[in-house]
Amino acid sequence: MDLVDAASPEALVKRILQAEPNLSVPVPIQDLCARLGILGIEDLDTDEFEGGLVTDAKRSEGTILVKRGGEPRRRFTIAHELAHFLMAHHVPDQSGRFMCKSSDLLRVTAKEGDQRQRREVEANRFATLMLMPPHLLRGAMAAFREPNLQHVLMLARDFAVGKEAAARAYVQYQPERIAIVVAGNGRVQRCYRSLSFPAIISAVGSPVPTGSLYHSGPHQPNIASDIAACSSDLWIDVKRDLRAPSLYEQVYLQLNNFAMILLRLEAVPEESAEERRLDEGWRHRFHSGRR
């Protein structure tokens, strides 16, 4: 495959998919590695790192190192390290050797000017796109209707990826206004939003809002809850004097004290002329002290 000029994860995946148009689901990532110059995939016996890559100076061949763990996690790590191998501008911290921590494999943004963080973000984008190719992901999601965490679980199962990787992709390709909050031990850890969903007001590290469905359990582990309405100002900034949009929550509790919380925001119905007239009249009487 001619991959030399592919300078971005998107361009690289596009070039690979053009050469491999009949990839099956789940994507056979280890076979793909072998065809792209990876000589072997070996276990990494350390608690400090999640994965690594050992390669020659010309990046003509390499060996991927992966920490023992569940298959979805291993597959993502393998794809992440494959990105480091294929992307010529990814420069290792040590000569011929990339070593990546678990935090590197979760990174979705990079500080301005931090080249190391930037390449980890790119490797994660490549891994997500390679394990869930857009055309195959769209085909799988065509059968889904209203947003539901059950869909995330189905994608994770069918594409053999982690639930969080499936959640990131689901948010990106779901046409409705949704967000998925990842919580750990009752605190917000990460949030993935569709472009049309406003920023959530609960900062990373802050407790999940008290009024959230998350706290109204008990929830059964590994079973998505029913979807329920909640107060929209629990999660988003609702401007004064504006009609609050309807917000719905769904919770998926895992055994390791982590949870995914799906937020779905409905558009505010446009007020009729009569409703606006009555509302404006009420506001005028309220502020002027008239009853």
Residue-wise pLDDT tens digits, 7-49: 899 999 999 999 999 999 999 999 999 999 999 999 998 889 9
Q: How far apart are CA 265 and CA 236, in angstroms?
A: 10
Q: Report the pLDDT value the prediction gives residue 214, as an integer from 0 to 100.
A: 95
Domains of the chain: 9-131 (1.10.10), 144-265 (3.30.450)
Range from 56-65, 105-114, 168-177, 262-271 carrying the lowest mean pLDDT = 262-271
Average pLDDT estimate for 216-241? 89
127: nearest Cα among 77, 192, 67, 70: 77
For 146-193, the pLDDT digits (tens) are: 999 999 999 999 999 999 999 999 999 999 999 999 999 999 999 999
> What percent of the chain has pLDDT above 90?
76
> Is residue 1 over pLDDT 70?
no
**9-19 and 115-131 helices, crossing angle to 10°:** 30
Q: Report the pLDDT value the prediction gives residue 6, as an integer from 0 to 100.
A: 73
Residue 49 neighbours by CB under 8 Å, 6+ apart: 65, 67, 99, 100, 101
For 185-228, the pLDDT digits (tens) are: 999 999 999 999 999 999 999 999 999 999 987 889 899 999 99
For 93-140, the pLDDT digits (tens) are: 888 899 999 999 999 999 999 999 999 999 999 999 999 999 999 999
Q: Report the pLDDT value the prediction gives residue 244, as an integer from 0 to 100.
A: 80
- The amino acid present at 260, given as its one-letter code, is M
Label each residue of the chain as H, E or C. CCCCCCCCHHHHHHHHHHHCCCCCCCCCHHHHHHHCCEEEEEEECCCCCCEEEEECCCCCCEEEEEECCCHHHHHHHHHHHHHHHHCCCCCCCECCEEEECCCHHHCCCCCCCCHHHHHHHHHHHHHHHHHCCHHHHHHHHCCCCCCCHHHHHHHHHHHCCCHHHHHHHHHHHCCCCEEEEEEECCEEEEEEECCCCCCECCCCCCECCCCCHHHCCCCCCCCECCCEEECHHHCECCCCCCCCCCEEEEEEECCCCEEEEEEEECCCCCCCHHHHHHHHHHHHHHHHCCC
Q: Report the pLDDT value the prediction gives residue 256, as an integer from 0 to 100.
A: 85
Q: Report the pLDDT value the prediction gives residue 94, as an integer from 0 to 100.
A: 85
259-199-11-33 Cα dihedral, nearest 10 degrees: -10
Q: Report the pLDDT value the prediction gives residue 4, as an integer from 0 to 100.
A: 64
**71-86 and 9-19 helices, crossing angle to 10°:** 100
What's the predicted TM-score (pTM) here? 0.86
